């Protein structure tokens, strides 16, 4: 389980996230909803180590305190982040991108890890030597997810994975996230696509002006009138 306590993110005087507590269990999808500028990306970056944690904040993975672990080592503790914009190495091939996802692991079982990825994303096997720059948006998102999964994470952090994808490709992406969750991976998902993400999520948090103002099961959030009006168009 990923446990985040008292997370705040400041940019100079500006407080982007204030005293947030978040939990994600293995095998569940948790979505963070919020308007533009609510602080969703800042929160995810701080959880993933891309923005330093405030000294009063705590981060544990499966009970191990990783609050002070440097970002490049968090992956060894089971945390993988797919940033907004995917973070692919677009000049490189699919295979090269995937292998970079396992850079911190032993090289002995590289092929076994690749096989696990191809089970999830058969299309990547077909496109193994294709340069990532030449792939469609949906395929590039699969490469990013595949690269993150190469580290066999306990928890996957995803920042707006559906951004810029056509509706039919979004649907496929959300189906893939459910398959990843079934591999006993916890997914913390930041999304503007509230309806589709709540439909696959177990639970969610609502972030408003840097503060968590609501949390609950997806059904509870769906039924919350204020959330419906603001984020679901109901």
Q: Which is nearer to ligand ATP, 54 or 110 (CB)?
A: 54
Q: Which is nearer to ligand ATP, 27 or 87 (CB)?
A: 87
Query: Are residues 169 and 137 in contact, defined by beta-carbon separation less than 8 angstroms?
Result: yes
Q: Which residues in 28-98 belong to E strands, given as ranges?
A: 29-33, 58-61, 64-65, 79-82
Q: Which is nearer to ligand ATP, 96 or 208 (CB)?
A: 208
- The least distance separating ligand ATP from the CB of residue 165, rounded to whole angstroms, comes to 16
- The least distance separating ligand ATP from the CB of residue 104, rounded to whole angstroms, comes to 26
Residues comprising the chain, all counted? 234
Query: Are residues 218 and 199 in contact, defined by beta-carbon separation less than 8 angstroms?
Result: yes
User: Quick check: 225 binds ligand ATP (CB under 6 A)?
Assistant: no
- The least distance separating ligand ATP from the CB of residue 41, rounded to whole angstroms, comes to 3
Q: Which is nearer to ligand ATP, 39 or 78 (CB)?
A: 39
User: Quick check: 161 binds ligand ATP (CB under 6 A)?
Assistant: no
- Span interacting with ligand ATP, options 38-46, 74-82, 93-101, 106-114, rule CB under 6 A: 38-46
Distance CA 62, CA 199 (A): 27
Q: Which is nearer to ligand ATP, 14 or 129 (CB)?
A: 14
- The least distance separating ligand ATP from the CB of residue 18, rounded to whole angstroms, comes to 11
Q: Which is nearer to ligand ATP, 143 or 190 (CB)?
A: 190
What is the helix (H) or strand (E) element at residue 208, kind and residue range? strand 203-208
User: Quick check: 88 binds ligand ATP (CB under 6 A)?
Assistant: no
User: Quick check: 36 binds ligand ATP (CB under 6 A)?
Assistant: yes
User: Quick check: 85 binds ligand ATP (CB under 6 A)?
Assistant: no
H helices of the chain, in order, are 40-47, 71-74, 94-100, 110-120, 122-126, 137-149, 167-181, 194-200, 218-223, 225-227
Query: What totals of helices (H) and strands (E) does the chain contain, helices first?
Result: 10, 10
User: Quick check: 86 binds ligand ATP (CB under 6 A)?
Assistant: no
Among positions 4, 7, 39, 48, the unique one binding ligand ATP when judged by CB under 6 A = 39
The candidate with the shortest Cα–Cα distance to 159, out of 26, 9, 41, 79, is 41
Q: What strands lie across the sheet with 14-24, from one edge to the other?
A: 14-24, 2-11, 58-61, 64-65
Binding site for ligand ATP (CB under 6 A): 11, 14, 16, 34, 36-42
């Amino acid at each position: 389980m990923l446990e985040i306590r008292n997370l705040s993110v400041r940019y100079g005087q500006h407080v982007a996230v204030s005293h947030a507590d978040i939990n994600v269990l293995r095998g569940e999808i948790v979505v963070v909803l919020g308007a533009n500028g609510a602080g969703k990306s800042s929160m995810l970056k701080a959880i993933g180590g891309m923005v330093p944690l405030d000294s009063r904040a705590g981060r544990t993975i499966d009970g191990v305190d990783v609050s002070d672990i440097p970002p490049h080592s968090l992956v060894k503790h089971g945390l993988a982040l797919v940033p907004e914009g995917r973070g692919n190495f677009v000049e490189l091939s699919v295979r090269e991108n995937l292998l970079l996802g396992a850079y911190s692991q032993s090289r002995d079982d590289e092929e076994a890890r690749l096989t696990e990825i191809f089970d999830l994303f058969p299309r990547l096997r077909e496109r193994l030597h294709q340069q990532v720059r030449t792939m469609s948006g949906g395929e590039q998102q699969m490469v990013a997810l595949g690269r993150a999964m190469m580290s066999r994470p306990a928890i996957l952090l995803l920042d707006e994975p559906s951004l810029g994808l056509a509706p039919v490709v979004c649907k496929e992406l959300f189906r893939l996230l459910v398959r990843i969750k079934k591999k006993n991976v916890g997914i913390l998902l930041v999304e503007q696509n509230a309806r589709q993400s709540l439909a696959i999520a177990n639970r969610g948090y609502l972030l408003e002006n840097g503060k968590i103002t609501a949390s609950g099961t997806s059904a509870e959030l769906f039924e919350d009138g204020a959330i419906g009006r603001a984020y679901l168009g109901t």
